[in-house]
């Protein structure tokens, strides 16, 4: 089974007077790994909830694999949203949960699920509710991975895990995705560890879409210049500086915005090293500016 494409048009979600998502539009190709980036309260979870048809859109349309997922049972079976809050049978043991997911997830892989339980060292004898925060997150990851849903969404699941578990999760996700391609959305605000996994990023802030693009395109929205202080200052004068660090006679300046060839050529001839900028740095810069 391969992944579902996603198309969101003018999506609006309101809770009473609060507008959580405000006319957001974006498209995700099938079989990509996407980062849905936004600060806390930016509308990430509301957007994902509509995609998972846990919530109905106030206005706008959402298409998954070309159809509206709302109350579409066949489609919903192929859409998995894993939230940190659980979405599992908390008072039951792992085996009971697995029986349940085997019934609701057509592509469920029971052997893979058992293997994942061993990898994360989860206790098979106790109900999920007795697990620590990290273990609950890991169990969410197990469910998300073993479901192999054509649209799999992890909503900040890995934030509860400790570093070794997080890296285990990234590695398992990548290896399994390579074998069984599907559309994956990872939503978070902490992304430096995973930004190279993304094929595309969607950035939302205060319910509005800031941008949605290919990750290579996104990364060229900025650059880092490293070299002698005076030369770097000369080249970056007049540019939008995001961050700046000095180390003795050397300075590293991160800038945002399209760079023309003159600037780049000037930097090269002044022996300034031009580097890429991290998705995390760009994201922090974009959402800081927009909220002020």
Partner 1 sequence: MFDGREPIYIQIADQIRGDILAGNLAEGEQVMSTTQYATTFRINPATAAKAFAQLVDEGVLYKQRGVGMFVAEGAPARLRSDRRETFLAERLEPVLAEARVLGIGSADLIRWIERAGDDPEQTTTEDTTTEGEQR
State in angstroms the smallest separation of the CB of 218 from partner 1: 11
How many CB atoms neighbour CB 52 within 10 A? Answer: 22
Residues in 231-270 at the binding interface with partner 1, rule: CB under 8 A: 249
What are residue 2's phi and psi, to 5 degrees? Answer: -110, 180
137/131 Cα distance (integer angstroms): 9
Residues in 25-54 at the binding interface with partner 1, rule: CB under 8 A: 31-33
State in angstroms the smallest separation of the CB of 271 from partner 1: 13
Identify the residue among 178, 237, 238, 260 touching partner 1 (CB under 8 A).
178
The answer to whether residue 4 forms part of the interface with partner 1 (CB under 8 A) is no
The answer to whether residue 174 forms part of the interface with partner 1 (CB under 8 A) is yes
Q: What is the CA radius of gyration of the chain?
A: 21
β-sheet bridge partners, residue 254: 224, 243
The answer to whether residue 274 forms part of the interface with partner 1 (CB under 8 A) is yes
Give, in order, the Cα–Cα distances in Å from 71 to each of 51, 102, 145, 148, 201. Answer: 11, 20, 24, 21, 28
Residues in 201-220 at the binding interface with partner 1, rule: CB under 8 A: 215-216, 219-220
The answer to whether residue 170 forms part of the interface with partner 1 (CB under 8 A) is yes
Give, in order, the Cα–Cα distances in Å from 25 to each of 38, 52, 63, 68, 82. Answer: 15, 16, 11, 15, 22
4 three-class SS: coil
State in angstroms the smallest separation of the CB of 121 from partner 1: 20
State in angstroms the smallest separation of the CB of 249 from partner 1: 7
Residues of this chain that bind partner 1 (CB under 8 A): 31-33, 170-171, 174-175, 177-179, 194, 196-199, 215-216, 219-220, 223, 249, 274-277
């Amino acid at each position: 089974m391969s992944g579902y494409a996603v198309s969101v048009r003018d999506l609006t979600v309101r809770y009473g007077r609060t507008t959580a998502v405000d006319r957001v539009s974006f498209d995700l190709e099938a079989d990509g790994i996407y980062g849905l980036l936004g600060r806390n309260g930016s509308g990430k979870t509301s957007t994902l909830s509509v995609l998972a048809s846990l919530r109905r859109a106030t206005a706008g349309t959402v298409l998954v694999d070309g159809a509206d997922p709302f109350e579409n049972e066949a489609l919903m079976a192929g859409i998995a949203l894993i939230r940190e809050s659980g979405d599992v049978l908390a008072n039951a043991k792992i085996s009971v949960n697995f029986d349940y997911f085997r019934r609701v997830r057509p592509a469920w892989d029971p052997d893979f699920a058992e293997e994942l339980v061993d990898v994360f060292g989860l206790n098979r004898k106790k109900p999920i509710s007795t697990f620590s925060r990290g273990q609950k997150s890991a169990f969410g990851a197990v469910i998300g991975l073993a479901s192999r849903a054509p649209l799999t969404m992890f909503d900040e699941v890995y934030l509860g895990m400790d570093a070794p578990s997080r890296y285990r999760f990234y590695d398992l996700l990548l290896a399994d995705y390579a074998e069984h391609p599907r559309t994956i959305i990872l939503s978070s605000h902490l992304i430096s560890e995973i930004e190279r996994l993304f094929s595309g990023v969607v950035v939302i802030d205060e319910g509005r879409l800031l941008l949605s693009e290919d990750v290579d395109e996104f990364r060229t929205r900025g650059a880092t210049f490293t070299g002698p202080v005076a030369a770097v200052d000369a080249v970056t004068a007049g540019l939008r500086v995001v961050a700046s660090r000095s180390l003795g006679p050397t300075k590293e300046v991160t800038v945002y915005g399209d760079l023309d060839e003159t600037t780049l050529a000037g930097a090269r001839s002044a022996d300034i090293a031009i580097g890429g900028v991290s998705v995390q740095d760009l994201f922090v810069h974009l959402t800081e500016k927009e909220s002020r």
